[in-house]
Amino acid sequence: MASEVVVVHANEDPPESWDAAVFLAGPLPRSVEVPSWGPQAVAYLREQWRQDGRLVVFTPELREGVLADYTGQVAWEHRGLNRADVILFWVPRDLVTMPAFTTNIEFGTWFDSGKIVLGAPAAAPKNEYLQELAAAAGAPVVDTLDQAVEAALGMIGGGARRTGGERSVPLHVWRTESFQSWHVAQRDAGNRLEDARVEWTFRVGPERGCIFYWALHVQMWVAAEERVKSNEVVISRPDTSQVVLYRRGATLEDTTVVLVREFRSPAATKDGFVHELPGGSGTSGTPAAQAVAEVREETGLAIAADRLRPLGSRQVAPTVIAHRAHLFAAEITADELDRLRAHQGTPHGAGGTERTWIEISTYGDLLESGLVDWSTLGMVTRALALGRTATGT
């Protein structure tokens, strides 16, 4: 695959596929006497794009002449801004010839998107507020145009080929394991992503560089029904590992189950807490390794991976959330249950944002209490039913 740069001017249609896309955002000249910075930005992009693949550059300037008629321009810009992997803001503000008032609005819309670069000459006035916002959002802030181009291409890296509706998913979402898992599942079912718009991302880590949650408003071709469905948002996050720790009782209802209680802001329970299985997501590698880590972190119990019985993975709330929960079960000893009981009043968790408390209940009480959600109750039921079947009790 050869290296290629395709420039798409205002109101022109982009190619059907690309590996990376940059939108040039910033003040435009309103007369032919005022020089434009756009051609120089394109020249830098052509010079610095050395990857195999197609780089598309959206520029809101006309191919010839100076923009005077906004017919179709706003819609075209919005599509390009949504599709772009990086929005390169270059703001050589001149309060007489290029005041950049529209640029201020665009920047305010996109500064916290996780896909911007802000560049401005040191002498350009009235850019301090933009620079403060960009820095707080973890975006690169530079003072030369070639540095802005370098930063934009650094965010893109090698790019990734996307075709058709896939072009509407920018790289920072496209590259997440959670998006790829959902996208592959839909594609394997015969469905097709027709279009999408990133509604929101929740980013964590150094310079907020890691997407933990994302939300896409999607248009999907549903193959089995031969129609397009376009009224839904897909939300996802990294997959979780959940563990049912239990101690067998005389009956299923008497079986003891270990939960953790944790304050979570969305909780709508009578005590304001969620009552759930030990679990979560992280960087421990395999789902089983993550399960071991979560049990230790949230209950203090060290349990070997070979004691975990894998029960498969399923979605938790598939009408809204695309991620899966990997379910495991482990029968604990009487001594382990006693140790857990003794630490019910001790907080566990990762500290800072996470604080968990051990809760011990019987399966019968879980059925009646109303504190656990349906997904948790279903996971517990699955684990205990299979556990008793396996032993013939």
- pLDDT 10s digits, 299-322: 999 999 999 999 999 999 999 999
In percent, how much of the chain has pLDDT > 70? Answer: 98
pLDDT at residue 120 greater than cutoff 80:
yes
| The pLDDT value given to residue 209 | 86
pLDDT at residue 15 greater than cutoff 70:
yes
pLDDT at residue 392 greater than cutoff 60:
no
pLDDT at residue 233 greater than cutoff 90:
yes
Contact (Cβ atoms closer than 8 angstroms) between residue 311 and residue 329: yes
Mean pLDDT for 212-238 is 97
73 φ, ψ to 5°? Answer: -65, -45
Contact (Cβ atoms closer than 8 angstroms) between residue 211 and residue 114: yes
pLDDT at residue 23 greater than cutoff 70:
yes
Task: Give me the helices (H) in 264-312, please.
Answer: 287-299
| The pLDDT value given to residue 388 | 61
pLDDT at residue 387 greater than cutoff 80:
no
In percent, how much of the chain has pLDDT > 90? Answer: 88
Task: Give me the helices (H) in the chain, please.
Answer: 38-48, 73-83, 101-110, 128-136, 145-156, 171-174, 177-188, 287-299, 334-342, 363-369, 374-391
| The pLDDT value given to residue 390 | 55
When the pLDDT of each residue in the chain is averaged and rounded to a whole number, the result is: 95
Mean pLDDT for 325-332 is 98
Q: How would residue 325 be classed by pLDDT, with cut points 50, 70 and 90? A: very high
Total length of the chain:
393
Count Cα atoms within 13 angstroms, Cβ side, for 282.
15
Mean pLDDT for 94-105 is 94
